[in-house]
Amino acid sequence: MAQANITSELIGNSFPHPDKWKWYHYFTFNIDHKVIGIQYLVSAFFFYLVGGAMALVMRAELATPSSDLVDPNFYNALLTNHGTIMIFLWIVPGAIGGFGNYLVPLMIGARDMAFPKLNALAFWLTVPAGLLIVGSFFFGGAQSGWTSYPPLSLITANTAQSMWILAIVFAGTSSILGALNFIITIWKMRVPSMGWNDMPLFCWAILATSLMALFSTPVLAAGLVLLLFDINFGTSFFRPENGGDVVMYQHLFWFYSHPAVYLMILPIFGIMSEVIPVHARKPIFGYKAIAYSSLTICIIGLFVWVHHMFTSGTPPWMRMFFTVSTLIVAVPTGVKIFSWVATLWGGKIRYTSAMLFAIGLLAMFVFGGLSGVTLGTAPVDIHVHDTYYVVAHFHYVLFGGSVFGIYAGLYHWFPKITGRMLNEPLGKVHFILTFIGTNLTFLPMHELGLKGMPRRVAMYDPQFQYINIICTIGAFVLGLSILPFLINAIWSWSNGPKASGNPWNAKTLEWTTDSPPMIENWDVLPVMTEGPYAYGEEPAEVSS
């Protein structure tokens, strides 16, 4: 990748800053996108550990059929906040806020995001969100599930529930500000040599994600604010005894929260499209198909929300319409899967830890996608809705999918972010433990659900104990699997071998600068001389 001079008007005005950030700058209102990216990633990972610890307590409780470890109300607080933390404080801020902020400007050859102060504000809005969630535990914790359906959410732990609502509104506002920033940045700030179809696929994924967040998040905020009013100010939007409509809440909630699933997986698809070509040493197969299928998923994904409500107060036409729209989402998703598999075909695959996690994701996401098709049809969903089958399905997609993708991204970009290489053998131990743990925990849950075990229960029919013990063992393997990663990341951050600017020999623009990049990314902005995935070809002539 050659570099060339660009006229100074295009560079824009700089802001005063030291040559290098000190450690304490990472705890301040800093407007550097890379600092913000690291702030998001580290704080999200902290919450991942908190949410994971909650899951381990729940699995320990479920080792026996009776409720004998924690109080059942506390169990409900755990399941509510496990879901909330993993979605709103781990995957969304980690994948979009963390990787999105760190990588998008570097990938498109920009010195920062379009609105750096807004960007910093978006991060700092997630801080009160996290504090409110932690603080709510002093009031018993919200106990009505991450879905918080009224009337249960209206009559249970009112203070904690209100804090939970405010936390989600903060996180949602952060998400809206971030989305706006990404759209403008990707639209307006690409280096002049980068056309839409030269853009790395991660940027396409973030663009689609941001459009989706921008359309759907305000609806969730509206629903939650109405709920907050019902709890605290005597309104009756969702109070059936005063003529309120509880099903209306479900529509408002899922209009956002189904797209939220795509908010959690589209950026991961973007990470996949970056990691696989680099480590398979091949161009990505079907660039346009992958790029546009993100947009297709984003559009269709806005019209599938009622599949979460097939057993609720929904008329027949709605159940049928949303069955069909849900099934259609499988098509663009399948296109991506097939394209990644085709990218592997004929490559020279290097089994780095990043690649192992990417292939592990591919293997498990296929399974999660297939179980998703069965769930999307009303006749089967009526049987398995709100059972462990659903829990199994979405953990295959969100743990086997999103979390594996974040790990792939962490192994892939750790050298760029920290300037140090991670230890590969430890990374492989981490992968093997995580892969075994994931399947041991979540595969048996499919059978639990089909056979008749509902989700969100602290006590269950003793006939299910055997399978539950397998799941619990798997969960503790998963808990253990974090250790090699933590040791690796903490040790390597200061002591790992120094990374070169481009240790994987990759072609996207973030690898044309130092590791870690200087503040404002480049002395002289880069120019694209070849495609982002031009592997297996002779480099084109330098055009400038």
| Stretch 419-458 residues interacting with another protein (CB under 8 A) | 446-447, 450-452, 454-458
Q: Is 370 in the site for another protein (CB under 8 A)?
A: yes
In the shown chain, the binding pattern of residues 235 to 274 toward another protein, with x for contact by CB under 8 A and - for none, equals -----xx-xxxxx---------------------------
Q: Is 393 in the site for another protein (CB under 8 A)?
A: no
Least distance to another protein from the beta carbon of 169, Å?
A: 22
Least distance to another protein from the beta carbon of 241, Å?
A: 7
Least distance to another protein from the beta carbon of 13, Å?
A: 39
- Count residues contacting another protein (CB under 8 A)? 96
Residues 359 and 402: beta-carbon distance below 8 Å: no
Measured distance CA(23)–CA(4) in Å, rounded: 32
Half-sphere exposure of 176 (CA within 13 A, CB side): 15
Among 101, 209, 257, 387, binds another protein (CB under 8 A): 387
Measured distance CA(291)–CA(270) in Å, rounded: 9
Q: Is 486 in the site for another protein (CB under 8 A)?
A: no
Nearest CA-CA partner of 357 in 321, 327, 401: 401
Half-sphere exposure of 132 (CA within 13 A, CB side): 22
Measured distance CA(308)–CA(490) in Å, rounded: 40
By C-beta, is 73 or 193 nearer to another protein? 73
Q: Is 338 in the site for another protein (CB under 8 A)?
A: yes
Among 537, 539, 543, 544, binds another protein (CB under 8 A): 537
The residues, ordered by sequence, that sit 6+ positions from 164 with a Cβ below 8 Å of its Cβ are 80, 81, 84, 132, 133, 136, 142, 148
Binding to another protein, residues 199-228 (CB under 8 A) = none
DSSP annotation string for 190-234: S-TT--GGGS-HHHHHHHHHHHHHHHHHHHHHHHHHHHHHHHHS-
Binding to another protein, residues 106-145 (CB under 8 A) = 143-145
Q: Is 328 in the site for another protein (CB under 8 A)?
A: yes
**Where does this chain touch another protein (CB under 8 A) — which range of 88-96, 164-172, 342-350, 516-524?**
342-350
Least distance to another protein from the beta carbon of 28, Å?
A: 41
Between the alpha carbon of residue 341 and those of residues 115, 328, 431, the distances in Å are: 37, 21, 20
Among 64, 374, 465, 500, binds another protein (CB under 8 A): 374
SS3 for 91? helix
Q: Is 68 in the site for another protein (CB under 8 A)?
A: no
Q: Is 15 in the site for another protein (CB under 8 A)?
A: no
Among 281, 473, 476, 491, binds another protein (CB under 8 A): 281
Angle at 519 between CA 514 and CA 521, to 5 degrees: 50
Least distance to another protein from the beta carbon of 255, Å?
A: 18
By C-beta, is 135 or 286 nearer to another protein? 286
The residues, ordered by sequence, that sit 6+ positions from 330 with a Cβ below 8 Å of its Cβ are 369, 372, 373, 376
Among 99, 253, 287, 404, binds another protein (CB under 8 A): 287
Binding to another protein, residues 494-523 (CB under 8 A) = none
By C-beta, is 339 or 481 nearer to another protein? 339
Q: Is 299 in the site for another protein (CB under 8 A)?
A: no
Residues 509 and 106: beta-carbon distance below 8 Å: yes
Q: Which two tokens stand for residue 382?
A: 């009526």
Among 222, 324, 480, 486, binds another protein (CB under 8 A): 324
Least distance to another protein from the beta carbon of 313, Å?
A: 5
Measured distance CA(167)–CA(161) in Å, rounded: 10
Among 295, 337, 469, 473, binds another protein (CB under 8 A): 337
Measured distance CA(294)–CA(208) in Å, rounded: 6
Q: Is 67 in the site for another protein (CB under 8 A)?
A: yes
DSSP assignment letter at 3? B
Q: Is 197 in the site for another protein (CB under 8 A)?
A: no
Among 180, 459, 469, 473, binds another protein (CB under 8 A): 459
Least distance to another protein from the beta carbon of 145, Å?
A: 5
Q: Is 25 in the site for another protein (CB under 8 A)?
A: no
SS3 for 414? helix
Chain-centroid distance, C-alpha 433 = 21
Measured distance CA(398)–CA(448) in Å, rounded: 19
By C-beta, is 118 or 436 nearer to another protein? 436
Q: Is 60 in the site for another protein (CB under 8 A)?
A: no
Measured distance CA(378)–CA(313) in Å, rounded: 13
Residues 208 and 298: beta-carbon distance below 8 Å: yes
Measured distance CA(400)–CA(442) in Å, rounded: 9
By C-beta, is 118 or 470 nearer to another protein? 470
Query: What region, left, alpha or beta, does residue 513 occupy, with left being phi > 0 and alpha being psi -120 to 50 degrees?
Result: beta
In the shown chain, the binding pattern of residues 73 to 112 toward another protein, with x for contact by CB under 8 A and - for none, equals x-xx------------------------------------
Nearest CA-CA partner of 149 in 304, 308, 264: 308
The residues, ordered by sequence, that sit 6+ positions from 42 with a Cβ below 8 Å of its Cβ are 26
Q: Is 4 in the site for another protein (CB under 8 A)?
A: no
Q: Is 17 in the site for another protein (CB under 8 A)?
A: no
In the shown chain, the binding pattern of residues 147 to 186 toward another protein, with x for contact by CB under 8 A and - for none, equals x-x-xx--xx------------------------------
